[in-house]
Structure 1
Amino acid sequence: MGEFELLAALRERLPEPGPRVHLGSGDDAAVTVPGGATATSVDALVEGVHLRRETASLRQIGRKALSTALSDLAAMGAEPGEAYVVLGVPEGMDEDELLEVGEGLAAVARETGTTLAGGDLSRAPALTVAVTVVGHAPRPEDFVTRGGARPGDVLVVTGELGGAAAGLLLLEDTGLTAAAFGGADPVPGGDPRAERATGPRLDLATADALRRRQLDPTPRFAASRALAAAGATAMIDISDGLAADAGHVAAASGALLVIDSTALPLAPGVEAVAGAAGREALELAISGGEDYELLAALPPEAVDAAREAVAATGTPLSVIGKVEAADGARVRAEVRLPGGGAAPTRGYDQLRRPQRR
């Protein structure tokens, strides 16, 4: 199958274009009629940097590539619109494998109401999925940015934290699953760490859920709409880690973000995996990254309504801190520990940690 036949086969798997798309995939360029303000973001997954085919199926890779790009739109309070995908195909990857990636992309497009409006295909040294996404709002001021947090605002987070980091540990170290089960280890082969593991134990369903959190994140569009409607003053998706991303909000807002470490909602199984790996659950929650939950700042009077509205989408909302005034030296995020002091706020850095998954 040649390039053009393969592109045609990929197009057959795409959902119908949305109402803003006048002309979609198949011509020299897509033609859209936005009818309002647009937000645009670009993201990429690269084999050997962001993914490994030993731990993720090709369909999962396609799903994650689009979901993580769309999460940036959710962080802005945008409605998903169009996506444009560039696939870099390594030597030896056949047509059926590439179509699996396309099926993953198409599945997330259907689930989120996104139109895959165009893209390109090229040879590359490693499998690469680069995605440009476009989101929409009636007016520019309807988007929620990182820069609006104000002293007195309350910090909230959707969902649970640390699950993706724990899932990554399980994927990269198969023996760790056995260790996290402790003495009642149902995983063949066992692991000497099982005898040393203390604290909570893992079960098969929870282990599977943690791996899914790493491999198949969900962009929080419904929760994003609820938070924006409730009056969120700032918002960001948690991709690099809660502490690092809170730091981005602090820098953009010129404020001090204070996070209560005891208020963080840990995903089930995080403590068990952290204990078996010799890590701290708090570290996975604040520095692990890739949870793709939303961190938002809200006026205090809006918190109850926001919690109710977000809960109605099927996602819990937790209060985890506050925004304080800061002079130049205090523009940062701090994760406060119970006995006083602050936890390290290191997050994921694309250029300093070359292999992620």
Structure 2
Amino acid sequence: MSLDHRLASEHEELRRTVEAFAHDVVAPRIGEFYENHAFPYDIVRQMGEMGLFGLPFPEEYGGMGGDYLALCIALEELARVDSSVAITLEAGVSLGAMPIHRYGTEEQKREWLPRLCSGEQLAAFGLTEPDCGSDAGGTRTTAVRDGDEWVINGTKCFITNSGTDITALITVTAVTGRNPDGSPRISTVIVPSDTPGLKVAAPYSKVGWNASDTRELSFADVRVPAANLLGEEGRGFAQFLRILDEGRIAISALATGLAQGCVDESVRYAHDRHAFGRPIGANQAIQFKIADMEMRAHTARTAWRDAASRLVAGEPFKKQAAMAKLYSSEVAVTNAREATQVHGGYGFMNEYPVARMWRDSKILEIGEGTSEVQRMLIARHLGLPGA
């Protein structure tokens, strides 16, 4: 396939629109939300009005009729300014609404997708548990069939968008039985946020992403209709693996945005900050540092666009998604560290965006598949022994 990843006119127009929104609306206000650990409802509402939550979904369900590449373009531009806003969109779309679009019945799609595409409501993806992070196959949450209902018990942790005032549902992975070989049969069930027995804990105190919503969920005899099963019973494991494969491209785009934002801020600071009678950007040590940051961000962008293009074209993309996620997340951490160094003491002050980027970057090497998991996946695709 072609490696020309220049954007088509409609994608470039979207990029410019989101870029302007990020700088004009998000940038002036997000610092206050971040420092107060407050969810930016008004910004999210405006993102919904722009159609960002509906980008990859069909118009018949309230979407914009775009593709996954469009979503990733928006994520990169948002993350150049702030990752909390970007992860709210990423989780709301690729983890929240996408499972319903991919695996839902026609009735489920028509019930939920229009509200999720508008941004009026958010959905969350309940996968991770306290005792099984990367080992998602070790799920302990159970869903037992009782007549026309599923009865759910268990705990989920680190769930984004799960406790906001506009959260509508959580899709929950749960063990619904055992396979002939004794392995757990994992399924996915839609749990509306107002279901009795669902307890949403207080927000976590986090290192970063402080303007996004992340909580622990517990399910105590939570009953939902049998019709809330998402997809086929026992296919939940395969379903969320597909969702995570796609999500890694989205996280790669977000990480690339953070890495590029570090370049943006460092170039600006290198012009404005003077030492010893001249701008610090005139020093070759600073020039080389920022040049390397730009090179890394550009390469990360090429990687995620390659993976996204393969996904959109219906071609195999799992290895490319793993490589993009691995590389871009590590690039984000490196660029955030280097941008902080360029800013010197001011880089340690929260009033400067690079301090926020530094705090936000580390989770990118952990969430939606750790760097170690990505290396395992790449090794497996290479056919290495034991992988």
TM-score w.r.t. length of structure 1 = 0.29
> Structure 1 or 2: larger helix share?
2
> Structure 1 or 2: larger strand share?
1
* Greater length-normalized contact order (CA 8 Å, ≥ 6 residues apart): 1
